[in-house]
Amino acid sequence: MGWQLLGLSFITVFLAELGDKSQLAAIALGGSAKSPLAVFLGSVAALIMASAIGVIVGEGTAQVLPVVWTKGIAAVGFAGMAVKILFFDREEDA
């Protein structure tokens, strides 16, 4: 196992998940649930499953496309979402 890749993956996902909607949902559920342990275990299981799906899709994509194309598609996707959020997502303005 590549320890550097493990650390990079941990740091990237950890920072990306801080303060997102899933963490806020876990906070809300944990505050109102009778069993915070069940909320924790459910949250962990969901993150593991979502990460597993991402890794499997990424590995499959790497088998079909060159890695540089995969990274390029991801970059364009993120840029497109950023443009949409910045300029076209005006629900709160109404």
**pLDDT > 70: percent of the chain:** 94
Find all residues with CB under 8 Å of 70, minimum gap 6, and list them.
58, 61, 62
DSSP for 49-61 reads HHHHHHHHHHHHH
Average pLDDT over the chain reads 87
pTM score, two decimals? Answer: 0.64
Overall size of the chain counted in residues: 94
Q: pLDDT tens for residues 2-45?
A: 899 889 888 988 888 887 888 888 888 888 888 999 999 999 99
Find all residues with CB under 8 Å of 61, minimum gap 6, and list them.
70
pLDDT at 19: 77
Q: What is the mean pLDDT of residues 61-82?
A: 90
CA dist 64 and 70 (Å) reads 9
pLDDT at 91: 64
Residue boundaries of the structural domains of the chain: 3-93
Q: Beta-carbon neighbour count of residue 26 at 10 Å?
A: 20
Q: What is the mean pLDDT of residues 43-51?
A: 92
